[in-house]
């Protein structure tokens, strides 16, 4: 049995890009980042900026890991859609995203108190692109968020959906250039199986010249199987169905 993500990755200061596909969604990994960070150190605080995930689901999955998020003061949930809807539709997109950035930074400033190290999770930047925001604005938002998180020594995790694996989109290319680590969650090429739900790889981004993490290349991808509350990780060929 393996364990992912390694603790150093969860508290890494920088941008971690998590990509997935519809057949192998990475929400289990996002929740896992959240749980590990909240459990590991008592000073960590987590800010979950959500476009498509909802609070009920996060709470329900966290309760399976014995985390009570409704009473946990170190967890903050921001519903991005509510903030976007507050502004009139015909305002400039740039200003709407700017407002979003301001909200995030103000949250971090308010809650910091000088001590806590933060984990900021932006769930699903691909949905923002599909809802009509331009790639330029979104990549600017990501760059601004990353710069801010680096300054505040926070970990930033951004989730992106890959629609066409063979032709990477422009936003994905921008994100790839910004990130230090890239966790890639892919389905099995042979289709779904009861034993293995998918596989994941860890690549280094161009920013990180000396990766401190053990990288996982595609041929030696770590496979996982989903359970009710998370996932079990194992190397290829060592799942229960094979052994």
Partner 1 sequence: MSSFKRKVPSKQVALPPGTRASSSSPSTILTSSGIPSLDDILGGGLPLSCSLVVLAPDNHSAYGELVQKYFVAQGIACGQTVCILHDDAVTFAAECMWMPNSSSNTRTPTPPADEEDEAARNEENIKIAWRYEQMKKFQTTVVPNNLSTDDFCNTFDLTSRIPLSVIDDARNDKRLLLLNLNEGCDVASSMMGVIRRIQHVLAATSSTEVVRLCIPSLGSLEWVGQSPKDILHFLHSLRRLLRQYPHACACVSLPPHLCTDSWGGMGWVQKVGWVTDAAISLEGFGADPSLVALFPSHHGLLQIHKLPTPHTILSASDKYSTLRGLSSSAGASVGSGENNLAFKCMRKRLIFETMHLDLEGGVTERRTAPSANAISLDAGIAHAHGVLRVVDEGPSRSLATVEVELEQTTTEIRGSLSESPGMSQSAAKNATTPSKLKKPKKKVAFHSDKPDLYDF
For position 160 contacting partner 1 by CB under 8 A, the verdict is no
List beta partners, residue 159: 18
Q: Which of 3, 7, 39, 54 binds partner 1 (CB under 8 A)?
A: 54
Minimum distance, C-beta of residue 122 to partner 1, in the bound complex (Å): 15
Cα distance between residue 162 and residue 21, in whole Å? 5
Q: Cβ 217 to partner 1, closest distance in Å?
A: 24
Q: Which of residues 194-213 bind partner 1 (CB under 8 A)?
A: 194-195
Distance of CA 175 to the CA centre of its chain: 12
**DSSP code for 21:** B
The yes or no reply on residue 126 touching partner 1 (CB under 8 A) is yes
User: Cβ(157)–Cβ(122) under 8 Å?
Assistant: yes
Strands 45-50, 75-79: parallel, antiparallel or unpaired by DSSP? parallel
Report the alpha-carbon distance of residue 243 to residue 233 in Å, rounded. Answer: 15
> Is 132 a binder of partner 1 (CB under 8 A)?
yes
By CB under 8 A, tell whether 65 contacts partner 1.
no
Chosen residue from 70, 95, 131, 211 binding partner 1 by CB under 8 A: 131
With 0-12 / 13-18 / 19 or more C-beta atoms within 10 angstroms meaning exposed / middle / buried, residue 95 is exposed
- For residues 185 and 21, the answer to whether their CB atoms sit within 8 Å is yes
Residue 192 is a binding residue for partner 1 (CB under 8 A): yes
Q: Write the binding mask 14 to 53 for partner 1: x where contact by CB under 8 A, - elsewhere.
A: -------xx----xx--x--------------------x-
* 237: contact with partner 1 by CB under 8 A: no
Looking at residue 216, what DSSP letter applies?
B
Work out how close the CB of 56 gets to partner 1 at its nearest, in angstroms, rounded to a whole number: 7
CA 233/CA 238 separation, integer angstroms: 10
Residues at the interface with partner 1 (CB under 8 A): 21-22, 27-28, 31, 52, 54, 56-57, 60-61, 64, 81, 89, 126-127, 130-132, 161, 163-164, 167, 190-195, 225-231, 239-242
């Amino acid at each position: 049995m393996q364990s992912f993500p390694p603790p150093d990755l969860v508290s890494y200061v920088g941008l971690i890009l998590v990509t997935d596909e519809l057949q192998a969604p990475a929400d289990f990994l996002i929740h896992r980042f959240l749980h590990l960070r909240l459990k590991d150190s008592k000073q960590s605080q987590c800010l979950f900026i959500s476009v498509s995930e909802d609070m009920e689901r996060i709470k329900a999955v966290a309760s399976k890991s014995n985390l009570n998020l409704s009473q946990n003061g170190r967890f903050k949930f921001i519903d991005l859609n509510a903030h976007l809807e507050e502004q009139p539709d015909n305002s400039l997109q740039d200003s709407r995203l700017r407002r979003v950035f301001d909200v995030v930074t103000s949250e971090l400033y308010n809650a910091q108190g000088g001590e806590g190290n933060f984990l900021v999770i932006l769930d699903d930047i691909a949905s923002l692109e599909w809802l009509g925001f331009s790639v330029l604005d979104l990549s600017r938002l990501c760059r601004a968020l990353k710069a801010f998180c680096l300054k505040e020594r926070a970990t930033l995790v951004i989730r992106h959906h890959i629609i066409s694996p063979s032709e990477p989109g422009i936003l994905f290319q921008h994100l790839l250039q910004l990130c230090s680590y890239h966790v890639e969650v892919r389905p099995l090429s042979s289709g779904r199986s009861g034993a293995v739900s998918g596989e994941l790889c860890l690549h280094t981004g161009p920013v990180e010249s000396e990766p401190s993490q053990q990288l996982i290349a595609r041929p030696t991808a770590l496979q996982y199987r989903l359970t009710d509350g998370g996932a079990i990780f194992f190397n290829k060929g060592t799942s229960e169905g094979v052994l």
